[in-house]
Every structure is written in C-alpha cells, then in structure tokens.
Amino acid sequence: MIGVIANLSEHGVIREFFELFKTPWEFYRSDRRYDVLLCAGDAPFPPTAAKLVIVYASSKTLADTEVEIDSQRRSTLLSYKGGRIPVYEGSITFRHKGCGILTDEISHESAGYLQQSHGSTLARIGYDLFREVHTLLTVGQPTAN
C-alpha cells in the first residue's frame, strides 16, 4: 500500500494520478505502516512510517537538513537511465549527494539521492511530482516532448 502526504490543495490531482494508474493508495494515516510513503513538498513525515519514503519537492525541505542545494531551475530536462524527463515547474539539484541515477541533463548535477536511516530508505527527488502532473493534465506538454 502507498501512503501519500501532501497539501490539501493537491488532493484532487493526487486522486486523478492514482486513478490513472489503478494503484492502491490512501492519504497517510498515522496508525498505518506503508510499503511506500510519497511526500509532496515540505510536509513533515515520520521517517519510520514506510520501508521507502519518497520526498518530491522543487525547493529545500525538512528532509534536507544536511544537504546543500546546488541550483534551482525553472524548467529543465532530467536524465534517468538514458531516458529524458522534462520538468516544467522547477527543479533543484543537490551538492555532494546522489549516485548519478537522476541527473540534470545539462549540468549533470544530481537531482535525486538515496539515504538509509531508521530502518528505511529515503529517496529525495528534486522536483514536485504532483505539480508536474497537474501541469500535464491541465496544460499538456509541448509536441517536442
């Protein structure tokens, strides 16, 4: 089961996202332990609430206490295993973090990192997943992508 922590203003797009993929999920409940916990933005989360905690945000968050933000971009292309991910609503990169799996296509800086703690894995991704989904559902993407 996937748990989701996000601002109330994003709940509509989150419901649409999971409906598209027919994936079992629910908004976070403190009495549950999840396989995966998706956190959008700077919402606080309990680090032991899931085996895998994925934090998506295009700015510094509470999860970034020991991380230097290297750069912020309005829009960019990220690279993942040779594939391109266009990001329309902003992204950040991290200094001295990450294993190069998700990188900014131009600067080659890390746009994501993994960290082990409290018996779980934290994946920090430098863009806002649900803001990107909202843009794709309401505006669409350029034909070039």
Predicted model pTM: 0.88
Q: What is the pLDDT of residues 71-99, one digit of tens each?
A: 677 788 999 988 999 999 989 988 766 66
**The pLDDT of residue 66:** 66
Q: What separation in angstroms does the CA of 94 have from each of 32, 72, 123, 125? A: 31, 10, 13, 10
At residue 95, φ and ψ (nearest 5 deg) are -85, 130
**What mean pLDDT do residues 116-120 have?**
82
pLDDT over 90 (residue 117):
no
Nearest-5° angle of CA 109, CA 112, CA 114?
125
CATH no. for 2-138:
3.40.50.880
Rg over CA atoms, the chain: 15
- Give, rounded to a whole angstrom, the gap between the first and last alpha carbons of the chain: 31
Map residue 141 onto helix, strand or coil: coil
pLDDT over 70 (residue 22):
yes
**The pLDDT of residue 40:** 93
Contacts of 61 (CB under 8 A, 6+ apart): 41, 42, 55, 124
More confident residue, 103 or 43: 103
Confidence of residue 106 (pLDDT cuts 50, 70, 90): confident
pLDDT over 90 (residue 9):
yes
Q: Where are the domains of the chain?
A: 2-138
> If we measure between CA atoms, which residue out of 49, 48, 46, 45 comes closest to residue 57?
45
